[in-house]
């Protein structure tokens, strides 16, 4: 009897849970007056904890601005490169602003905003050690597991005539681990998006440099739940407004301007719809 | 009436089948998952990446098997050395072995692994570093770190086995005039061996599961490949299931062999003809043939010669002198060995103290509060107000052990029950969880809860649930062990005096069993506290994650931060293990035994 009751309660709870999350995400955001945005914790200068232990960074500022423009309160949720897509799929967050390259494979699972940041993949190595990726093809290269960088570097090595690229790649779980492996000389280079590399290289000025050409373009999009066009429109409009009135460039220059340790000139522009 | 029917085996089978059928029907056809299953990803070539992900997971299995074999060999070899050292009369050796064992037993494997991979090479000169990097450094680090971690647990098993010989037998042996070597060879080792093998087997299993951590240093083992498949296709549920099935099969194979070995070792009425025993016997066959054909005659010859020599008491002056010299040489060699050991120990201490003096103590002082509470109470958005670090690890461990106690008790009772309706589901639950590494269980909960219940929890709760389910399976086994230790006569007496099952359990069995279970439960709590380090994979800001975040920000004080972190894990675990040992002595004083 008691077991029957527990089962019935569990079933009821399950049913309630499934109805509670059926509504469109945009409606829910506007109703709660709160948008849940996923941000990284150890991507410098994208989103990280500063010396005072406070969350800050480019993505942090962009997401704050985004919530302001949509006119709702922001709730920041910590994500990493493993959870940033799963959290959107499961409805734990409404938007992810987390160094995510817009790819077609990812587009099968979630939706993306227009490109809000233009990055490209490069290789970081000790200063003066190598001139190009070709010099490194007999050495080990670090990257992060499950990223587009991992696939790109394997293809690049294959194009350079390396028979078994898997043997030359060490895939870590976190960016900081890649950097430490580079620092202690376990790997000759660390490859991922250039901004991330610059962020870490700035920790030890003059010790590291970017090598060779861009391996790929990495257009960053904000991750959005699949098939929720109202939310996608709102996010896209907010991004374009930010660009139009100069707020975007203010934030950009705060983190990537010429005076910053992560200086990277802006060479592109956000797509604008009339 | 119900009881009458429930005692019939066919009724039990029918009920079980019906439950299975209802579950299959409900989740197979009625329930809407809101998730598209794509099992084909496991056997077809992915179009975007041109790889067969199922094949990649199989490649990962091969790496897992290799690491398991190497680390098990290291664990057994080093474990024997450490276990024997711990019983040595030479105090420096005994204390060093104790320190090494306690360090590995009370520090999470993940922290040990990071230490070996990131901190150890920095302490080496450049040439040596280049030399070790020229091998598969990731693979070997993982194998050695896991092996050393296992060795500490094996050392304790071996020591306990050697010390488990009843006092009376040793007294009898010594008083009948046997020398120490003879006692060791004829009495202690054969008896201890039987005592050691079963717990050693479960250490082999743990070792296999621990290899799943190798992925943290970039080794492409099975867990890594499953994650890779998830990252490429976002089909985490399917990938984790595939890895889980593989781990389970691997565990079952190891258990099968271990059962065979245990069955073969059983001396009383050894007519065991079960499948595992026959399987092991098949492997043992060449050795037993060689032994009866070769070693036995040689042994007989040697014994005869020794007996002959012993019979003649005459010793020539030259022989006596030779024996004297040999004895002196042996003594000198032992002395030299001891001196060399002391020298080595001294230099290690010198390096450590020198390192400690150059420590950046200011960094530890400023970051210590972060390591303990992280941002508490400065983050309003977080349900835990930014609580993290040591405190959060401890809270997760307490929640897991408290919640798992009830589940563990129920499942443990179910496992001992004669009724199949309770026994088989309990058995399935225990074996399913124990056959998988914790990290796979964490993934299961993380992917399964949203799929099954269409809802989600904060990652802290998700992690706590995973740890609870994991702990409960181990607790259930402790409960079972405790109950089965109670003499069966007591149950018979209780039944004969008319007590019902629940009365027997509540008034007779459980009070006694629980008392015996306290030390292993404290041990389990230590394990859980250490295992909280694994939930960092979900981004929960517990101690390991916080240490990483702090280290990542400072970049200049890795050694300081990680040593402090290791100590934060070590000190509570060490104190608890001492407490458990004291408790065990208090609860079973008869185990305190004679020096061997």
Instruction: Output the pLDDT for position B208.
Output: 93
Mean pLDDT for chain B overall: 85
Instruction: Output the pLDDT for position B30.
Output: 76
Candidates B32, B231, B455; nearest CB to A17: B455
Q: What are phi and psi of A193, to 5 degrees?
A: -65, 140
Q: How confident is the model at residue B267 (pLDDT cuts 50, 70, 90)?
A: low
Which chain A residue's Cα is nearest to B125?
A184
Residue B81 has pLDDT above 60, yes or no: yes
Q: How confident is the model at residue B97 (pLDDT cuts 50, 70, 90)?
A: very high
Candidates A53, A166, A186; nearest CB to B137: A186
Q: Which of B521, B537, B517, B543 is nearest to B438 (CA)?
A: B537
Q: Which of B491, B240, B550 is nearest to B373 (CA)?
A: B550
Instruction: Output the pLDDT for position A137.
Output: 85
The residues, ordered by sequence, that sit 6+ positions from B537 with a Cβ below 8 Å of its Cβ are A82, A173, B439, B442
A57-76 confidence digits (pLDDT tens): 999 999 999 999 999 999 99
Instruction: Output the pLDDT for position B269.
Output: 56
Give residue B130's Cα distance to chain centre: 33
B118 vs A177: CB contact, 8 Å cut-off? yes
Instruction: With beta carbons under 8 A apart, name residues in chain A contacting B378.
Output: 53
Instruction: With beta carbons under 8 A apart, name residues in chain B contacting A179.
Output: 555
Residue B594 has pLDDT above 80, yes or no: no
Instruction: Output the pLDDT for position B383.
Output: 67
- Cβ-contact B571, B494 below 8 angstroms: no
Residue A252 has pLDDT above 90, yes or no: yes
Query: Can you tell me which residue has the tokens 């010390």?
Result: B163
Candidates B121, B216, B236; nearest CB to A173: B216
Distance from CA of A116 to the nearest CA of B (A): 23
A91 vs B129: CB contact, 8 Å cut-off? no
Q: How confident is the model at residue A12 (pLDDT cuts 50, 70, 90)?
A: very low
Instruction: Output the pLDDT for position B595.
Output: 46
Distance from C-alpha of B75 to C-alpha of B152, rounded to nearest angstrom: 8
Instruction: Output the pLDDT for position B428.
Output: 92
Higher pLDDT residue, A88 or B286? A88
Higher pLDDT residue, B110 or A14? B110
B456 vs A90: CB contact, 8 Å cut-off? yes
Distance from CA of B219 to the nearest CA of A (A): 8
Candidates B48, B217, B447; nearest CB to A105: B48
Distance from CA of B167 to the nearest CA of A (A): 50
Q: Which of A30, A53, A55, A35 is nearest to A45 (CA)?
A: A55
- Flag the least confident range among A10-14, B270-274, B332-336: A10-14
Q: Are strands A189-193 and A141-144 parallel, antiparallel or unpaired?
A: parallel
Distance from CA of B429 to the nearest CA of A (A): 18
A105 vs B232: CB contact, 8 Å cut-off? yes
B48 vs A104: CB contact, 8 Å cut-off? yes
Instruction: Output the pLDDT for position B231.
Output: 81
Q: How confident is the model at residue B382 (pLDDT cuts 50, 70, 90)?
A: low
Q: What are phi and psi of A223, to 5 degrees?
A: -75, 135
Q: Which of A182, A42, A180 is nearest to A124 (CA)?
A: A182
Instruction: Output the pLDDT for position A19.
Output: 39
B353-373 confidence digits (pLDDT tens): 888 888 888 888 888 888 888
The neighbouring-strand residues paired with A217 are A120
What is residue A111's DSSP assignment?
Answer: E
Q: How confident is the model at residue A138 (pLDDT cuts 50, 70, 90)?
A: confident
**Which candidate in B56, B212, B218 is best for mutational testing of the A interface (most A CBs within 10 A)?**
B218
Three-state SS sequence of B395-431: HHHHHHHHHHHHHHHHHHHHHHCCCHHHHHHHHHHHH
The residues, ordered by sequence, that sit 6+ positions from B129 with a Cβ below 8 Å of its Cβ are A184, A185, B121
Instruction: Catalogue the E-assigned strands of A108-265.
Output: 111-126, 141-144, 169-172, 189-193, 208-224
B456 vs A50: CB contact, 8 Å cut-off? no
Instruction: Output the pLDDT for position A20.
Output: 40
Instruction: With beta carbons under 8 A apart, name residues in chain B contacting A171.
Output: 218, 220, 224, 228
Distance from C-alpha of B342 to C-alpha of B579, rounded to nearest angstrom: 31
A184 vs B118: CB contact, 8 Å cut-off? yes
The residues, ordered by sequence, that sit 6+ positions from A17 with a Cβ below 8 Å of its Cβ are B453, B454, B455
Query: Can you tell me which residue has the tokens 């029957």?
Result: A4
**Which candidate in A11, A53, A167, A169 is best for mutational testing of the B interface (most B CBs within 10 A)?**
A53
Instruction: With beta carbons under 8 A apart, name residues in chain B contacting A1.
Output: none
For chain B, the first-to-last Cα distance in angstroms comes to 59
A86 vs B236: CB contact, 8 Å cut-off? yes
Distance from CA of A40 to the nearest CA of B (A): 10
Instruction: With beta carbons under 8 A apart, name residues in chain B contacting A166.
Output: 220
Q: How confident is the model at residue B346 (pLDDT cuts 50, 70, 90)?
A: very high
A18 vs B227: CB contact, 8 Å cut-off? no
Residue B182, token pair as written in the block: 């003879």
Report the share of chain A in percent with pLDDT over 70. Answer: 92
A21 vs B454: CB contact, 8 Å cut-off? yes
Distance from CA of A142 to the nearest CA of B (A): 9
**Region of residue B74 (phi > 0: left; psi between -120 and 50: alpha; otherwise: beta):** alpha
Residue B77 has pLDDT above 90, yes or no: yes
B399-424 confidence digits (pLDDT tens): 998 999 999 999 999 988 888 888 89
Give residue A145's Cα distance to chain centre: 14
B227 vs A82: CB contact, 8 Å cut-off? yes
- Flag the least confident range among B183-192, B221-230, B397-406: B183-192
Long-range contacts of B269-274 (CB under 8 A, 24+ apart): none
Most confident of B494-498, B546-550, B582-586: B494-498
Distance from CA of A266 to the nearest CA of B (A): 26
In degrees, rounded to 5, the angle at the alpha carbon of residue B130 between the alpha carbons of residues B128 and B133 is 110
Length of chain A: 274
Q: Are strands A141-144 and A42-43 parallel, antiparallel or unpaired?
A: unpaired
The residues, ordered by sequence, that sit 6+ positions from A150 with a Cβ below 8 Å of its Cβ are A143, A144, A169, A171
Distance from C-alpha of A234 to C-alpha of A226, rounded to nearest angstrom: 15
**Region of residue B110 (phi > 0: left; psi between -120 and 50: alpha; otherwise: beta):** alpha
Q: How confident is the model at residue A23 (pLDDT cuts 50, 70, 90)?
A: very low
**Which candidate in A6, A49, A81 is best for mutational testing of the B interface (most B CBs within 10 A)?**
A49
Residue B34 has pLDDT above 70, yes or no: no
Distance from C-alpha of B374 to C-alpha of B395, rounded to nearest angstrom: 14
Residue B152 has pLDDT above 60, yes or no: yes
What is residue B120's DSSP assignment?
Answer: G
Q: Which of B533, B401, B375 is nearest to B384 (CA)?
A: B375
- Flag the least confident range among A246-260, B34-48, B71-85, B262-276: B262-276
Helix (H) / strand (E) element for B342: namely helix B317-357
Which chain A residue's Cα is nearest to B233?
A105
Distance from C-alpha of A26 to C-alpha of A234, rounded to nearest angstrom: 9
Most confident of A32-41, B190-199, B259-268, B587-596: A32-41
A179-204 confidence digits (pLDDT tens): 888 988 889 999 999 888 988 888 88
Q: Packing angle between helix A229-244 and helix A25-32, nearest 10 degrees? A: 60
Distance from CA of B77 to the nearest CA of A (A): 29
Distance from C-alpha of A27 to C-alpha of A33, rounded to nearest angstrom: 10
Section B40-67 average pLDDT: 87
Instruction: With beta carbons under 8 A apart, name residues in chain A contacting B34.
Output: 18
Residue A226 has pLDDT above 60, yes or no: yes
A78 vs B370: CB contact, 8 Å cut-off? no
- Flag the least confident range among B133-142, B152-161, B229-238, B332-341: B229-238
Q: Which of A233, A220, A217, A165 is nearest to A43 (CA)?
A: A220
Instruction: With beta carbons under 8 A apart, name residues in chain B contacting A172.
Output: 216-218
Residue B157 has pLDDT above 70, yes or no: yes
- Cβ-contact A72, A86 below 8 angstroms: no
Residue A22 has pLDDT above 50, yes or no: no
Instruction: Output the pLDDT for position B45.
Output: 84
**Chain A to chain B, count of Cβ pairs less than 8 Å apart?**
110
- Cβ-contact A192, A175 below 8 angstroms: yes
Largest CA distance in chain B: 95
Distance from C-alpha of B118 to C-alpha of B125, rounded to nearest angstrom: 15
Distance from CA of A241 to the nearest CA of B (A): 27
Instruction: Output the pLDDT for position A259.
Output: 87
Q: How confident is the model at residue B352 (pLDDT cuts 50, 70, 90)?
A: confident
Candidates A21, A109, A174; nearest CB to B234: A109
Instruction: With beta carbons under 8 A apart, name residues in chain A contacting B232.
Output: 105, 146
Residue A18 has pLDDT above 80, yes or no: no
Section B218-231 average pLDDT: 89
Instruction: With beta carbons under 8 A apart, name residues in chain B contacting A17.
Output: 453-455
- Count other C-beta atoms under 10 Å from residue A250's C-beta: 13
Instruction: Output the pLDDT for position B560.
Output: 84
What is residue A227's DSSP assignment?
Answer: T
Q: Is A99 helix (H, G, I), strand (E, B) or coil?
A: coil
Residue B271 has pLDDT above 70, yes or no: no
Section B310-315 average pLDDT: 72
Residue B1 has pLDDT above 80, yes or no: no
Distance from C-alpha of B34 to C-alpha of A20, rounded to nearest angstrom: 13
Q: Which of A114, A115, A74, A80 is nearest to A94 (CA)?
A: A74
How far is residue A1 from each of residues A4, B11, B505, B513, measured CA to CA in Å? Answer: 5, 19, 22, 29
Higher pLDDT residue, B103 or B305? B103
Q: Is A158 helix (H, G, I), strand (E, B) or coil?
A: helix
Instruction: Output the pLDDT for position B59.
Output: 92
B218 vs A170: CB contact, 8 Å cut-off? yes
- Cβ-contact A129, A160 below 8 angstroms: no
How far is residue B154 from each of residues A182, B83, B455, B572, measured CA to CA in Å? Answer: 35, 8, 42, 22
B227 vs A49: CB contact, 8 Å cut-off? no
Distance from C-alpha of B353 to C-alpha of B347, rounded to nearest angstrom: 10
Which chain B residue's Cα is nearest to A176?
B552
Section B228-236 average pLDDT: 82
Q: How confident is the model at residue B314 (pLDDT cuts 50, 70, 90)?
A: confident
Residue A82 has pLDDT above 80, yes or no: no
- Cβ-contact A75, A35 below 8 angstroms: yes
Candidates A21, A42, A186; nearest CB to B552: A42
Section A124-129 average pLDDT: 90
Instruction: Report H helices in B164-219.
Output: 167-175, 180-183, 189-210
Q: Residue B423 half-sphere exposure, CB side, CA atoms within 13 Å?
A: 10
């Amino acid at each position: 009897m008691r077991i029957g009751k527990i089962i019935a309660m569990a079933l009821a709870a399950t049913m309630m849970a499934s109805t509670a999350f059926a509504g469109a995400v945009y409606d829910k955001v506007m109703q709660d007056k709160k948008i849940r945005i996923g941000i990284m914790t150890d991507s410098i200068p994208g989103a990280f904890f500063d010396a005072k232990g406070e969350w800050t960074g480019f993505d942090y500022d962009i997401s704050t601005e985004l919530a302001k423009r949509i006119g709702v309160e922001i709730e920041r949720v910590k994500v990493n490169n493993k959870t940033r897509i799963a959290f959107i799929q499961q409805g734990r967050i409404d938007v992810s602003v987390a160094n995510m390259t817009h790819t077609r494979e990812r587009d099968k699972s979630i939706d993306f905003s227009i490109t809000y940041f233009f990055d490209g993949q490069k290789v970081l190595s000790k200063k003066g050690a190598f001139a190009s990726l070709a010099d490194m093809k007999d050495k080990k290269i670090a990257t992060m597991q499950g990223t587009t960088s991992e696939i790109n570097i394997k293809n690049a090595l294959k194009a350079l005539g390396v028979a078994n690229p898997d043997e030359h790649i060490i895939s870590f779980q976190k960016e900081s681990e890649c950097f430490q492996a580079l620092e202690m000389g376990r790997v000759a280079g660390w490859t991922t998006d250039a901004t991330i590399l610059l962020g870490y290289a700035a920790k030890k000025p003059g010790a590291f440099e970017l090598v060779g050409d861009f391996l790929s373009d990495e257009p960053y999009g904000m991750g959005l739940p699949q098939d929720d066009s109202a939310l996608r429109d709102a996010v896209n409009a907010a991004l374009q407004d930010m660009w139009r009135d100069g707020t975007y460039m203010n934030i950009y220059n705060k983190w990537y301007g010429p005076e910053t340790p992560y200086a990277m000139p802006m060479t592109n522009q956000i797509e604008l719809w009339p | 009436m119900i009881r009458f029917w429930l005692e019939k085996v066919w009724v039990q089978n029918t009920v079980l089948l019906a439950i299975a059928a209802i579950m299959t029907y409900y989740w197979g056809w009625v329930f809407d998952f809101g998730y598209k299953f794509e099992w084909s990803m496991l056997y077809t070539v992915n179009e975007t990446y041109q790889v067969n992900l199922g094949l990649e997971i199989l490649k990962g299995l091969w790496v897992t098997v290799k690491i398991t074999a190497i680390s098990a060999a290291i664990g057994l070899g080093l474990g024997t050395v450490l276990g024997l050292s711990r019983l040595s009369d030479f105090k420096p050796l005994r204390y060093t072995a104790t320190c090494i064992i306690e360090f590995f037993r009370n520090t999470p494997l993940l922290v040990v692994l990071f230490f070996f991979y990131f901190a150890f090479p920095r302490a080496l000169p450049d040439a040596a570093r280049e030399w070790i990097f020229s091998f598969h450094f990731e693979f070997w680090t993982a194998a050695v770190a896991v092996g050393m971690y296992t060795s500490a647990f094996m050392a304790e098993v071996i020591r306990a086995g050697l010390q488990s010989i009843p006092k009376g037998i040793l007294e009898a042996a010594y008083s009948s005039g046997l020398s120490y070597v003879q006692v060791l060879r004829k009495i202690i080792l054969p008896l201890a061996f039987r005592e050691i093998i079963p717990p050693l087997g479960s250490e082999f299993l743990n070792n296999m599961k621990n290899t799943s951590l190798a992925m943290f240093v970039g080794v492409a083992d099975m867990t890594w490949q499953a994650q890779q498949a998830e990252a490429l296709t976002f089909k985490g549920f399917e990938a984790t299931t595939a890895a889980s099935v593989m781990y389970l099969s691997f565990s079952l194979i190891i258990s099968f062999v271990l059962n065979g070995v245990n069955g073969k070792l059983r001396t009383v009425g050894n007519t065991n003809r079960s499948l595992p025993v026959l399987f092991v016997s098949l492997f043992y066959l060449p050795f037993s043939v060689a032994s009866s054909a070769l070693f036995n005659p040689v042994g007989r010859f040697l014994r005869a010669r020794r007996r002959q020599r012993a019979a003649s008491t005459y010793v020539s002056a030259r022989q006596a002198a030779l024996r004297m010299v040999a004895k002196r040489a042996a003594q000198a060699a032992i002395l030299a060995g001891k001196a060399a050991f002391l020298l080595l120990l001294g230099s290690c201490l010198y390096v450590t103290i020198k390192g400690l003096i150059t420590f950046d103590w200011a960094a530890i002082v400023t970051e210590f509060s972060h390591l303990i509470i992280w941002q508490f109470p400065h983050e309003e958005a977080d349900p835990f107000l930014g609580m993290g670090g040591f405190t959060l690890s401890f809270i997760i461990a307490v929640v897991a052990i408290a919640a798992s106690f009830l589940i563990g008790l129920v499942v443990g009772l179910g496992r001992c029950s004669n009724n199949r309706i309770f026994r088989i589901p309990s058995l399935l639950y225990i074996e399913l969880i124990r056959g998988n590494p914790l990290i796979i269980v964490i993934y299961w909960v993380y992917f399964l809860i949203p799929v099954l219940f269409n809802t989600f929890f904060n990652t802290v709760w998700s992690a706590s649930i995973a740890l609870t389910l994991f702990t409960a399976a181990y607790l259930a086994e402790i409960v079972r062990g405790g109950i089965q230790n109670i003499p069966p006569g007591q149950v018979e007496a209780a039944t004969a005096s008319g007590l019902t099952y629940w009365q027997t359990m509540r008034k007779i069995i459980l009070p006694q069993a629980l008392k015996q279970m306290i030390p292993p439960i404290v041990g389990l709590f230590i394990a859980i506290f250490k295992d909280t380090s694994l939930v960092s994979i979900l981004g929960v800001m517990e101690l390991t994650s916080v240490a990483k975040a702090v280290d990542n920000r400072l970049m200049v004080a890795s050694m300081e931060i990680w040593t402090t972190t290791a100590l934060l894990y070590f000190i509570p675990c060490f104190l608890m293990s001492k407490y458990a040992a004291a408790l065990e002595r208090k609860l079973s004083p008869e185990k305190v035994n004679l020096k061997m």
